[in-house]
């Protein structure tokens, strides 16, 4: 018997990756020139998009045809362009699910730093340290608003799961609050909930502004300071740590979990959002990529497995570490302070 011939090895994937910087830059250019916003008004041909945006016909033709190839736009036989469903939901600036901010973050901040990856791997030293006040404050003032749509659906799932509205009163501790997305979703679900938002002094004005936008700022208190130094208070029903452990690194994360344990009431819940990796670090690829992002942009940050974070929670005194499926890169991790 003859064994079946194995598929030939080709450089196709390597060639695809060599050009993979193009899609996010094309999407950002289309957002900046309002292509998705204009087409949200209805299908248009090249001349109509040119008139509505003021961008050059040559540039728009190349850009929009690339986006057709990427299935973000459609084009009919008459050359009329329209939005794909994905673009209509997530790339129109006036829609609540708009994800364009993360693309601006990618091209303006991430790509320039990642260009130094070879040097960073050699030295182990980041290009910048965005988890430190000063440099980090400037970065997060814009960034936390950009990523609000990424976390809001997961925060709503958490709110529904906890059902805090059934309590006569409750208290949420929103750590590294940023835009306040976790506290906002919880406050919307529970009229008698009070939120204590903790973040750097230069970031909290963004938290306050966003909470006001959603009409819940009157139930927020604001505590400025470093997470390991700020006063968390005590007796909270729930504490949220939305995408913060990865930038803190293991030592500070373990200390933060221990401090959070003391701030919760008996029976209180901690909820953690993270880019998780498998225990053997063979995937998921997004978690592995994000570990590289922490290498480039923080001094000690990384991505962790459920098993690692679960062990830290148990060490801090929590019980029943578990996951909650929610929209986002990974499930949420929940654990309980014993009653």
Angle ∠(83,87,93) on CA atoms, nearest 5: 105
pLDDT at 258 over 70: yes
CA dihedral (311, 316, 319, 323) in degrees, to 10, reads: -50
Tokens of 225: 């300071």
Token pair in block for residue 316: 């801090």
Q: Band the pLDDT of 3: cuts 50, 70, 90.
A: low
> Which one, of 185, 155, 77, 211, lies nearest residue 324 by Cα?
155
Q: Could you tell me the two tokens for 306?
A: 């459920």
What's the pLDDT score for residue 102? Answer: 86
pTM to 2 decimals?
0.90
pLDDT in tens, 152-180: 999 999 999 999 999 999 999 999 999 99
The share of the chain scoring above pLDDT 90, in percent, equals 86
- Write the CB contacts of 155 (distance below 8 Å, at least 6 apart in sequence): 181, 182, 184, 185, 186, 240, 242
Alpha helices (runs of H) in 172-305, residue ranges in sequence order: 181-189, 204-213, 245-263, 285-297
Q: For residues 292 and 253, what is the distance between their CA atoms, to the nearest angstrom? A: 18
Distance CA 44, CA 72 (A): 15
Predicted confidence (pLDDT) per residue in 125-152, tens digit: 999 877 665 555 555 556 778 888 889 9
Domains and CATH numbers, the chain: 12-94 (1.10.10.10), 119-336 (3.40.50.150)
pLDDT exceeds cutoff 90 at 327? yes
pLDDT score for 201: 93
User: What does the alpha-carbon distance between residue 216 and residue 50 come to, in Å, rounded to a whole number?
Assistant: 41
Q: What span, in angstroms and rounded, lies between the C-alpha atoms of 305 and 288? A: 11
State the average pLDDT over residues 325-329.
93
């Amino acid at each position: 018997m003859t064994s079946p011939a194995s598929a030939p090895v080709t450089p196709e994937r390597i060639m695809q990756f060599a050009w993979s910087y193009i899609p996010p830059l094309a999407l950002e250019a289309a957002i900046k020139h309002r292509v998705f916003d204009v087409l949200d008004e209805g299908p248009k041909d090249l001349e109509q998009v040119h008139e509505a945006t003021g961008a050059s016909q040559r540039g728009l033709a190349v850009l929009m045809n690339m986006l057709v190839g990427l299935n973000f736009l459609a084009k009919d036989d008459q050359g009329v362009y329209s939005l794909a469903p994905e673009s209509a939901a997530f790339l129109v600036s006036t829609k609540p699910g708009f994800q364009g901010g993360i693309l601006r973050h990618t091209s303006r901040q991430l790509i320039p730093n990642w260009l130094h990856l070879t040097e960073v791997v050699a030295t182990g030293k980041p290009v910048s340290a965005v988890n430190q006040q000063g440099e980090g404050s400037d970065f997060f003032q814009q960034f936390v608003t950009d990523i609000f749509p990424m976390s809001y659906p997961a925060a709503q799932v958490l709110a529904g799961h906890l059902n805090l509205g059934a309590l006569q009163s409750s208290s949420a501790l929103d750590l590294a609050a940023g835009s306040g997305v976790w506290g906002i979703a919880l406050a919307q679900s529970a009229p008698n909930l009070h939120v204590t938002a903790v973040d750097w002094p230069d970031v909290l004005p963004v938290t306050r502004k966003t909470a006001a936008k959603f009409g819940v700022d009157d139930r927020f208190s604001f505590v400025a300071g470093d997470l390991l130094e700020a006063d968390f208070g005590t007796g909270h029903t729930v504490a949220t740590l939305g995408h913060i452990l990865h930038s803190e690194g293991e030592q500070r994360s373990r200390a933060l979990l221990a401090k959070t344990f003391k701030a919760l009431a008996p029976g209180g819940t901690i909820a953690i959002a993270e880019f998780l990796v498998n225990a053997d670090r063979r995937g998921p690829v997004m978690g592995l990529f994000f570990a590289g992002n922490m290498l480039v942009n923080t001094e000690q940050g990384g991505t962790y497995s459920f098993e690692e974070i679960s062990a830290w929670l148990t060490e801090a005194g929590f019980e029943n570490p578990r996951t909650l499926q929610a929209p986002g890169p990974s499930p949420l991790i929940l654990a309980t302070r014993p009653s």
